[in-house]
Amino acid sequence: MIGKGNSLKEKSVSKYESFYFWENLIHKEEPLWENGFQNKPLTESSIYIYTVLMDHNKDFLKSKWAYYPDVYALLGFLQYVFLPTSFFTWLDNDVDGFNIPLTTGEELLQIMLEVEKTLDPWEIGLMKTQLEEVKAFWQLSEEACLEKIHQFSVAFNQSWIGKSDKLVYFKIFQTPVDIGKYVLQGGEIAGEGFTEVMEEEIEMTKAQWEDVYQKVYQDPFMRKKFIDILNYKIGCLV
């Protein structure tokens, strides 16, 4: 029985650890940045991720909420989708709009170094280090991997705050209550909180919002609508 369980875990990890798995999803334009990954139902084991990418010069702001079925699916998204896209957003000043690179993070940096000779060596070095750090998480247990991703998100967000015209950010949550409290405090926006403006945006009072996020798993309707409220009612929180 133990052997069978280990086999299933190894199969799951290997699927999400493959670049070609994610490349195929990107080609098919699967909604990796918002809603439920591969339309999987929201469960108490789901892990939520909030991502923000902004480039003022290219006139785009992508502020999205999604959930993944387990930590390894989330890790695959981070390694093969979020980090390459974030690094391209940070480094590129020529290609219009929001773009997801169809390459690994390591290959992307090599290409960027070949075509752009004025890149900051310190930034490139940090990007390479962060890619290597995330790759090492595959060797960890689910619990340890999740903790490392939490720690990595804090360090990542602190690393990339030097440009006023660009922003790359992500944060993970394990429960709707964690998300609800994050929204109530106004996210990362100091002194924002749950203002009257936010009440107007989500069309509910603070008390109503608290009732929503506390009953996500008990209310079948809210289980389906919770992520929609985050994506289509809540504004950018960074």
More confident residue, 81 or 224: 81
In this prediction, residues 12-20 reach a mean pLDDT of 85
pLDDT of residue 8: 46
Q: What are 71's two structure tokens?
A: 């930590």
Whether the pLDDT of residue 3 is over 50: the answer is no
What are 96's two structure tokens?
Answer: 């219009």
pLDDT exceeds 50 at position 33: yes
In whole angstroms, what is the distance from residue 181 CA to residue 194 CA? 10
The whole-number pLDDT of residue 4 equals: 36
Task: Look at residue 2 in the predicted model and tell me its pLDDT.
Answer: 33
The per-residue pLDDT for range 90-103, each reduced to its tens digit, is 999 999 999 999 99
Beta bridge partners of 68: 47
Distance CA 131, CA 175 (A): 27
CA 93/CA 90 separation, integer angstroms: 8
Would the pLDDT of 190 be above 70? no
pTM attached to this predicted model: 0.92
Average pLDDT over residues 117-143: 96
Q: What is the percent of the chain where pLDDT is above 70?
A: 92
- Partners of 60 in beta bridges: 55
49: helix, coil or strand? strand
* pLDDT classification of 176: cutoffs 50, 70, 90: very high
HEC string for 123-189: HHHHHHHHHHHHHHHHHCCHHHHHHHHHHHHHHHHHHCCCCCCEEEEEEEECCHHHHHHHHHCCCCC
